[in-house]
Amino acid sequence: MSNGVTVDADAIRKLAEILRDTDLTEIEVAEKDARIRVARVIPAPAPAQYFAAPAMAPMQAMAAAPAQAAAPAAPAAAPAPAAAPSLDASHPGLVTSPMVGVAYLSPEPGSAPYITLGAKVTAGQTLLLIEAMKTFNQIKAPKAGTVTRILIDNGTPVEYGEPLVLVE
C-alpha cells in the first residue's frame, strides 16, 4: 500500500469503541497527513430501552449489588448504585450460582467464613453454601487458585447464574 491508504484497523476499532461508550455519532481524528473519521447512526433503541423502566426491583438490585465487592453490606433489597463494575459472565474463574436460593459464606451463624479475599483454595474446596428448599448446597471451587473477589454478602438471595466468587 505504498501509495494507497493505510488502514489502521486497531485505531478504527478503538474509535468505534469510544463512539459506542460515549453515545457520540461521529469522531474525526487527524494527524499530519492522516485522517480517520468514524460515524454511526444511533441504532433504534436497544431492547432494554423499549419499555418504561420499572422501578429498580429487588432482584435486579441483587443482581447488580454483588458486583461491588468492597461495598458495605447493604440490605439485599436496597437499590444498587447504577454503575456497579460489571464482570464478564464468561470469565473462566467465575463461580456462578447453580440454583436460586440464599447464599451463606460460613457454615453456621457466627462461625468463620469458608473463604476470605486473597485466600488460596484447592479444587473442590467448599466456597459457600446456598440454601434452597431448606437444604444447604455446597458450592465448590472448580479449580485451585486465589479468591480475588467475593461478589455476594452473607445471607444474600441469589438467582440462577448469578456471579458468586472469582477464583484466579
Partner 1 sequence: MTRPFSKVLIANRGEIALRVHRACQEMGIRTVAVHSTADASAMHVRLADESVCIGPPPARESYLNVAAILSAATITGAEAIHPGYGFLSENARFAEMVEAHGLTFIGPTAEHIRMMGDKIAAKDAMRRLGVPLVPGSLGALESLEEARAVAEQVKYPVLIKAAAGGGGRGMKVARHEGELEEAWRVARTEAKAAFGDDSVYMEKYLDRPRHIELQVLADTHGNVVHFGERDCSLQRRHQKLVEEAGSPVLSAAERDALGAQVTKALRELGYRNAGTLEFLWQDGQFAFIEMNTRLQVEHPVTEMVCGVDLVREQIRIAGGEALGYGQEDVRFSGHAIECRITAEDPESFAPSPGRVSTYHAPGGLGVRVDSALYSGYAVPPHYDSLVAKLVVHAPTRAGAIARARRALDEMVVDGIRTTLPLHRRIMDDPEFQSGDYTIHWLERFVSRAG
The residues binding partner 1 (CB under 8 A) are: 44-45, 47-52, 54-55, 57-60, 99-102, 132-133, 157, 159-162
- From a copy of itself, partner 1, none, interface partner of 16 (C-beta below 5 to 8 A by class): a copy of itself
Which residues in the 5-44 window bind a copy of itself by CB under 8 A? 5-9, 11-44
71 interacts with, out of a copy of itself, partner 1, none, CB within 5 to 8 A per kind: none
Q: Does 4 bind a copy of itself (CB under 8 A)?
A: yes
- Name which of 97 and 147 has its Cβ closer to partner 1: 97
Residue 46 lies near a copy of itself (rule: CB under 8 A): no
| Cα 41 from chain centre | 28
User: Any idea which residue has 479449580 for its cell?
Assistant: 143
Give 15 or 67: the residue with its C-beta nearer to partner 1: 67
Strand, coil or helix: what is 6?
coil
**Residue 71 neighbours by CB distance under 10 Å:** 13
79 pairs with which residues across the strands? none
Amino acid at 148: T
User: Which residue in this structure is represented by grid cell 452473607?
Assistant: 154
Find how far residue 62's CA is from the centre of its chain: 12
By beta-carbon proximity to partner 1, the closer residue of 57 and 71 is 57
62 and 159 in contact (C-beta within 8 Å)?
A: yes
CA 126 to chain centre: 22
Q: Is 1 in the site for a copy of itself (CB under 8 A)?
A: yes
Please report, as ranges, the residues that interact with a copy of itself according to CB under 8 A.
Answer: 1, 3-9, 11-44
